[in-house]
Structure 1
Amino acid sequence: MRKKNNSFKRSVALFSVAAFGTCGIVLACADYFMEYDYDSDFTPEVYVDESYAPLFYSLQEVFYKVGFDDVHTSRFNDDIVIDWSDYLKGKATREQVRYLLLNDSAASELDQLYSAIWKKTKAPARFNALNLADERIRSFVEFMHYAKMIKAYSTEPAYSWDYDEKKKTPVTDPKVIAQVEKLYTETKDPFLKNRYWFQTMKAYFYGKDQQGLIPFFEKTKATVPQNMLYYRGVAYVAGTHYRKKNYATANYLYSIAFDKCPEMRVVTAYNFHPQEQQDFQTSLSLAKNNDEKAGLWALFGYYADEKQAIQEIYKLNPASPHLDYLLTRLVNQEEVALNGIDFKTAEEYKRTRKEKLDKGALQLVNTIAKEEKTPKPYLWNIAAGYLNILVGNYTIASQLLDKAEKQSPKSELALQQIHLFKIINMLSSITKMDDKAENKLLVDLTWLYNAKQNDETFRYRHALGWSRQYIASLYKQQQNVVMAELFDRDLKFYQTNTNLEAMKIFQERTAKTPWEQLASGIYNITLSDIYEYQSTIAAYAGRIDEAIAFMERSKEGKDVELLGNPFNGKIKDCHDCDHAATQKVKYTKLSLLKKMKEMKDHVDKGEDVYNNSLLLANAFYNMSYFGNARVFYYGDIMAQYGNYIDKYYQPVLLNCSLANQYYQRAFDVATTAEQKAKCTYMMAKCERNIFYTGKYHSREDFYSDPDVSFLAWNGFKKLKSDYSNTKYYKEVISECGYFRKFLGME
């Protein structure tokens, strides 16, 4: 297993800015979310309480689907509004309560309400309907009068661009602390007393020296109901100890709040901060019972070692709910490390997976699953079943998954999870793809590949991709190249003609078995794509008749329009300019080929050879990577859409030999100097492209700065020596910077 550093160095690195209890906003930078199921099949949300969800295993984020925790000042807003609305019993609307409690702009209106009650001034118009003589309304306004003052001392803005910069907040006025504590002491109403107690804790925490907080807590804690406010107060005590560098005590107290108050699991986990291993051991020595020790180990597992934490908690209390979330982290880490293994054969994959799985983790999960002492034995059985799949214990895995299915809640997500693992187990046990295996897998893989997953939480995408790769590896071993390709696309498959023809035969066959229909349904290359590919290859080889015949059989390819006029030959290659220019005729791939055939026929017959040769040359040039008609070679099989061209296709798409051949043909029959000048320059462009292809496109660092931008091409020399008196020569000087440099003009 990939263990974390038990000295908590990760904790120190990530959380050193945060360990101040619940004192303010934790600075946040996570503005992204990762997909969690590319290497994972185990969905932690299936069985674990949602309060643990941010603590699930995540490769890059501090908290799963959260990033950095940044809601300290708003975490409990909804609970506060509900509690006060219930207390007021409809004497103020929930909207009014929310506004006065949470809206910073309500401060002046609160002051007016407070003055209206105690100084008999006029209440704000918005709250005319409130009965200010009602005791509960008066108590609420009085409470908010002081709570708003304390809130002003307890919040600060977050500067997401600078973790180290923290705004210095003002400290609570001692008079405010004294008045709030007095109200706590004198108030008889349990609801108000509880809240004044918390406000007193909060006021002390943001006081100048915090000296009164711990004595006040120790004096009153026995009389305070152990609800959410109590554990928020415990976090203030923990933060006070942290400021005093009493790290062991601080972490012990954070663990208590973590254990007892689910709503505070994220904030206490964030602030749990052992400096070294000894701090943790000291915290353990402070624990008064097994539950407190389990809380500490639960946080230890999050930061350091899930396996050890599970072992220790299980010894202390097998019924601890912390075990469940730690189990999901343990399993997710194991599977992510194993599922990312690249493989060519099924045997190699299974052997590597078995070697790398943490045997101690497997034994631990197997043992706990077998003893069934946890509150959710089905979770442990499903986890044990999954880990046994990963090491090749398929019979044991099947038994565990069957047991889990009987024990599990019948929710759709839970049933999907077990179904998925049964598919993985069944497929992993298959070593040969034959009729028996295909029939065995058909129904389940149809569900996996085609059924809509109703819950986006469910992690099935890895299994979907893995199953296809695994099946393909078996077919490859059996020399069944077509079925292997259908399940796992190989970008080089169609580069072998026998493969291409075999796939055509398969796709042209109308009578297919249900298994073959399934395979065809998940394959993204159609018979039309194959014909388009064959047409493209034939066209670049100059076999125009053959290219037309193939393109006419391609449903999509023949209708694809080119973005620029492929018969234009410009001095400067500017694709965007050509694409934006008005085009009287919009050519498709097929109509381009047919027009090229028409021109070629004229050349072969000796008819208007110059113009037809020049236009053919332009077409071949523009069909290349360098021209304005790259769309001609765009297709799902060739898949060359960017600036880098795969080495296999470089001799095809970077080749200007046919263009150069027809430019030469046009030059040979040219009758004017202007015509010859144009052909000479266009051949210089082909010469330049040959140089670029050999020097830059064939290099791995294609995007690095070129050390040579141009040479004194033969075409440049000939243009200068033979055609400097032409109009075209002047146009080249005007438009071509390389030619000007060649002439020494720049």
Structure 2
Amino acid sequence: MTSWSLFVPFFSRALRMIATGATLLAWACLCFWPVTLGGDCGPNLQEFKGFSFLRSSIIKGAAAGAPYVLGFDVLYERYGVQKTNMMQDNLDEWHSRYCAQAEKADIYAVVYDWPKSDLEEVINGITVKSYGLSPYLRQNTFAAYLYRYGCTETLRYLQYTRDVEPHVTSTDPWEDRPSNLAIINSLIVRGRDEMMQCASHYIRLRYAFQIIRLAHYSRQYNRTLELYDWLMPKVDNDPSLIEYWILGHRAGALQALGRYPEAAYAYAKVFLHCPSKRESALQSFRIRSDEEWKATYTLCRSDQERATLYAMRAYLDRSRALEEMKLIYALDPKMEYLDVLLVREMRRLEKQLLGLEFNKNRDRNRRYHKIPQPGIDDYLIQVQEFVQKINLEKKTTNSELWAIAEGYLEMVSGDFYAAIKSFERIEDSIKDEAMREQLRIFKLGAQIGSYQEVSDGMEDDIATMMRSNEFFLRFPSKFLPYTRDKLGWLYRRYNMPGKAFLAYYPFRDLRVNPRETELNDLLFMLQQQRLNRMERNLLKQGDTLLTINDVHMLKATVMLDQYQLIPALEEMKKIDRNAWTDYGVWAPFVERFHDCVNCPIRDTVTFLNRGEIIERMLDLEYRALANRLEGGGFFYQMGLAYYNMSYFGSAWQVMDNFRSGSSLKRRKNAQDPSVVPDERFALGNREHFDCSQALNYFTMARQFTGSRELAAKASFMAARCEQNNFYWRGGTRTYENFEILKRDYADTQFYARIVAECKYFKFYTAR
């Protein structure tokens, strides 16, 4: 028996679902790339990430408890909120009670919209024959019916509701409303008197509802019960949903007075018999101990009521519901609660276990959500045994659901081969359209999950599914993450890191933070004579395919970022020289004494591609070492190039593929301070902050030049590198090169110029 010692009320509120556009659907079918958000703000990194193939249509929305399986958002999307359901049920009952001789829209107008004056006009038309009914009112079919048959009791009742409504309604259902007890009590007395004058027991029942509702909403709980006991015996009416609306108010008063077993039993009856009030009945249902549970259970008069109690406990309790399912099955195997609870447990189990082996978020789910829970594997086996028992005994009303569930639980357990066999065995026997669709969705999921090795045939099969399978195209949000994770897991298992990366993320994430392991694997793939369909999908970049030249260029960029000029040039030579310029041209040798990343560059400046830049830097290095007299100038040009190709220069794209203006101020990766964590990119954003190489060349330029003007410039540029490294790394601020410039080169023309132009240096010299 489930413990009730910590049981508290359950409150749920729904959000509307967001429809997915057709353009997203088409895009999703062609690649695996996840939707990401830019900027420092992004998706909740602790959100649970798992898989689900259960569709809400597998269970009927009107089934008792369906909201707590489907989720209120889905239920409301399909069937409307409780208030709307109650209104519709109310209109249906008015419609049937008056022999369906009025349009529902007209009933709605009279019951909910008409002011008292319009109702009074119809009453006058009935009681004063010469008065008649205006053409405006007569065109309403319900008003015409009431007028024709002289239904003054109904009209007086509707007038009474206009006076009651302000005291029992609110735009906020949780608002603590002040009440005017004197007015409310006078309305209760008036309603009781008018009720007793009515010949129609149906109108009497409605008066009783309004009166009891007034007492409950004004927190007169004892009086609510007294009125219920006094009024209800005076109503002799055919079964009506209004009786359960009244019973709900009685239950609320009982609970407020601490009579929890009686209240819980009343809420269970409302839940059982009144679909439009099930939500509020379940939300209000409260049992606090095993003793209260036993007392409530004793009040039940039928197996149906006992099963309802078990179901409500299972719906609300966060523990596993298998025990309640067994108890309900023992009471009555045909209870619809069993179907609802089955789907609920299937949903819980798939969240815990479906695709667990290859879910790339498995560790994070365990850390933040404690999923999978301890003992869940054993619980799955118990549920499977129960489902198998149901399928053998064939006593339930929805045998197709239970048959499909057996296969899906095999799939959830990771036994995809057995699941496929189970689905194939029952496929021809499933006649319900929604069930057939669900089975086919499950079967596709099992097929994808069943692959255990990488081959051209497997990759072609999955690529074909992505492009043409009906369910892949209809439900990309379900199948794409699942397939992506399965493929990524297989690629990693078979030592294919590049393909694994592209299974999870777009190539642009690798461009932003390149890694040699992935790039080498992609080169190996691109060197094949034939690419299969999946490989072409993985390599798709918008309307084009990633090429072998793209990877060679990216490897050259990585090596240049690491100051490996000769290996970088060797990588460039693997690309046709005529294609070098296709990847961009820059001017890294421009002399500029203030940082300006996006400043315009004069037309007279020579722009070079990445390969030409590397060649020139190698030439400068050779000439600097070979000619000591002019070496300082060559070292200075190399320092300019490295500075301008850093994060702080206008040619940053030579060594980087993405620059964010906020990167310098944001936190850095603990293991690699050149990487800025960024939720837009899987590996973060690598920036070339380090100005140490430029600083070294500026220092050598100062040391190896005979020109004091050039030495002054080199000292100032070295000071900028020193400053930028402090901004990047932090620590103790140093002014070594500023001091050299001030101490040794104060008589130069450049010194006078830079003191005038650079306020920061001017401030330093004035200290």
1:110 equivalent among 101, 110, 115: 115
Sequence identity percentage: 17
Note closer, same or farther for the CA distance 1:600–1:227 as it changes in structure 2 (3 Å cut): farther
Residue type at the aligned position of 2:479? Y
1:152 equivalent among 166, 169, 174: 166
Separation in structure 1 between the aligned mates of residue 578 and residue 210 of structure 2, nearest angstrom:
75
Which secondary structure does the structure 1 equivalent of 2:4 belong to? coil
Matched, 1:536 2:557: yes
Match of 1:682 in 2: 717
Separation in structure 2 between the aligned mates of residue 549 and residue 320 of structure 1, nearest angstrom:
74
Matched, 1:201 2:220: no
Question: Gaps spanning 5+ residues in structure 2: where?
Answer: 19-42, 126-130, 367-371, 676-685
The 5-angstrom pairing of residues 652-663 of structure 1 reads 653-663=688-698
1:294 is displaced (CA, Å) by 1.1
Note closer, same or farther for the CA distance 1:676–1:82 as it changes in structure 2 (3 Å cut): farther
Which secondary structure does the structure 1 equivalent of 2:8 belong to? helix
Which secondary structure does the structure 1 equivalent of 2:276 belong to? helix
1:623 is displaced (CA, Å) by 3.3
1:289 is displaced (CA, Å) by 0.7
Separation in structure 1 between the aligned mates of residue 259 and residue 706 of structure 2, nearest angstrom:
96
1:118 is displaced (CA, Å) by 6.0
Q: Which range moved further: 684-693 or 121-130?
A: 121-130
The 5-angstrom pairing of residues 717-736 of structure 1 reads 717-723=739-745, 726-731=751-756, 734-735=759-760
Separation in structure 2 between the aligned mates of residue 362 and residue 676 of structure 1, nearest angstrom:
81
Aligned length: 680
Match of 1:236 in 2: 249
Match of 1:447 in 2: 465
Matched, 1:464 2:483: yes
Residue type at the aligned position of 2:245? R
Note closer, same or farther for the CA distance 1:91–1:41 as it changes in structure 2 (3 Å cut): closer
Contact 2:632/2:702 (8 A) holds in 1:
yes
Question: Gaps spanning 5+ residues in structure 1: where?
Answer: 16-25, 697-707
Note closer, same or farther for the CA distance 1:628–1:261 as it changes in structure 2 (3 Å cut): farther
Contact 1:379/1:404 (8 A) holds in 2:
no
Q: Which range moved further: 281-290 or 457-466?
A: 457-466
Separation in structure 2 between the aligned mates of residue 557 and residue 56 of structure 1, nearest angstrom:
59
Cα deviation 1:357-392 (Å, max 9, x = unaligned): 543223222222332222222222222222223445
1:486 is displaced (CA, Å) by 6.0
Residue type at the aligned position of 1:206? Y
1:521 is displaced (CA, Å) by 1.6
The 5-angstrom pairing of residues 495-506 of structure 1 reads 500-506=519-525
1:217 is displaced (CA, Å) by 4.1
1:658 is displaced (CA, Å) by 3.8
Note closer, same or farther for the CA distance 1:86–1:273 as it changes in structure 2 (3 Å cut): same
Matched, 1:422 2:443: yes
Note closer, same or farther for the CA distance 1:419–1:356 as it changes in structure 2 (3 Å cut): same
Match of 2:259 in 1: 246
Which secondary structure does the structure 2 equivalent of 1:11 belong to? coil
Match of 2:394 in 1: 372
Cα deviation 1:91-129 (Å, max 9, x = unaligned): 998777656655xxx6xx714324545689999999796
Note closer, same or farther for the CA distance 1:156–1:130 as it changes in structure 2 (3 Å cut): closer
Separation in structure 1 between the aligned mates of residue 425 and residue 401 of structure 2, nearest angstrom:
10
Residue type at the aligned position of 1:734? K
Cα deviation 1:448-486 (Å, max 9, x = unaligned): 57646465598434532342244335424xxx6666566
Match of 2:23 in 1: none
Residue type at the aligned position of 1:297? Y
The 5-angstrom pairing of residues 49-128 of structure 1 reads 49-51=60-62, 52-56=65-69, 76-80=86-90, 110-114=115-119, 116=121
Residue type at the aligned position of 2:247? V
Match of 1:220 in 2: 232
Residue type at the aligned position of 1:11? V
Match of 1:321 in 2: 336
Residue type at the aligned position of 1:401? F
Match of 1:45 in 2: 56
Note closer, same or farther for the CA distance 1:724–1:303 as it changes in structure 2 (3 Å cut): farther
Note closer, same or farther for the CA distance 1:44–1:90 as it changes in structure 2 (3 Å cut): closer
Which secondary structure does the structure 2 equivalent of 1:647 belong to? coil
Which secondary structure does the structure 2 equivalent of 1:76 belong to? helix
2:384 equivalent among 362, 378, 384: 362
1:43 is displaced (CA, Å) by 0.9
Match of 2:291 in 1: 278
Contact 1:258/1:268 (8 A) holds in 2:
yes
Which secondary structure does the structure 1 equivalent of 2:494 belong to? helix
1:147 is displaced (CA, Å) by 1.8
Contact 1:559/1:590 (8 A) holds in 2:
no
1:220 is displaced (CA, Å) by 3.0
Note closer, same or farther for the CA distance 1:423–1:29 as it changes in structure 2 (3 Å cut): closer
What is the root-mean-square deviation of aligned Cα atoms in Å? 5.3
Separation in structure 2 between the aligned mates of residue 188 and residue 154 of structure 1, nearest angstrom:
26
Contact 1:39/1:336 (8 A) holds in 2:
yes
Note closer, same or farther for the CA distance 1:469–1:604 as it changes in structure 2 (3 Å cut): closer
Separation in structure 1 between the aligned mates of residue 487 and residue 51 of structure 2, nearest angstrom:
15
Which structure ranks higher in relative contact order (CA pairs < 8 Å, sequence separation ≥ 6)? 2
Contact 1:113/1:141 (8 A) holds in 2:
no
Note closer, same or farther for the CA distance 1:620–1:54 as it changes in structure 2 (3 Å cut): farther
Separation in structure 1 between the aligned mates of residue 580 and residue 299 of structure 2, nearest angstrom:
73
Residue type at the aligned position of 2:310? W
Separation in structure 1 between the aligned mates of residue 510 and residue 553 of structure 2, nearest angstrom:
16
Contact 2:691/2:725 (8 A) holds in 1:
yes
Note closer, same or farther for the CA distance 1:593–1:418 as it changes in structure 2 (3 Å cut): same
Separation in structure 2 between the aligned mates of residue 405 and residue 29 of structure 1, nearest angstrom:
35
2:409 equivalent among 377, 380, 387: 387
Match of 2:733 in 1: 711
Separation in structure 1 between the aligned mates of residue 583 and residue 653 of structure 2, nearest angstrom:
12
Contact 2:359/2:485 (8 A) holds in 1:
no
Note closer, same or farther for the CA distance 1:275–1:306 as it changes in structure 2 (3 Å cut): same
Contact 1:234/1:253 (8 A) holds in 2:
yes
Contact 1:48/1:325 (8 A) holds in 2:
yes
Cα deviation 1:140-195 (Å, max 9, x = unaligned): 76444322322211123439xxx8x7343445623322333444444456765554
Residue type at the aligned position of 2:188? I
Q: Which range moved further: 534-543 or 486-495?
A: 486-495
Match of 2:310 in 1: 297
Note closer, same or farther for the CA distance 1:556–1:217 as it changes in structure 2 (3 Å cut): farther
Residue type at the aligned position of 2:272? D
Cα deviation 1:545-593 (Å, max 9, x = unaligned): 557657879999946799xx8667766657xxx44x5566799997576
Separation in structure 2 between the aligned mates of residue 599 and residue 397 of structure 1, nearest angstrom:
62
Separation in structure 2 between the aligned mates of residue 131 and residue 429 of structure 1, nearest angstrom:
62
Contact 2:107/2:142 (8 A) holds in 1:
no
Separation in structure 2 between the aligned mates of residue 499 and residue 158 of structure 1, nearest angstrom:
56
Contact 1:677/1:729 (8 A) holds in 2:
no
2:530 equivalent among 508, 511, 516: 511
Match of 2:536 in 1: 520
Which secondary structure does the structure 2 equivalent of 1:56 belong to? helix
Residue type at the aligned position of 1:311? K
Note closer, same or farther for the CA distance 1:561–1:66 as it changes in structure 2 (3 Å cut): farther
Note closer, same or farther for the CA distance 1:481–1:279 as it changes in structure 2 (3 Å cut): same
Separation in structure 2 between the aligned mates of residue 399 and residue 452 of structure 1, nearest angstrom:
21
1:45 is displaced (CA, Å) by 1.0
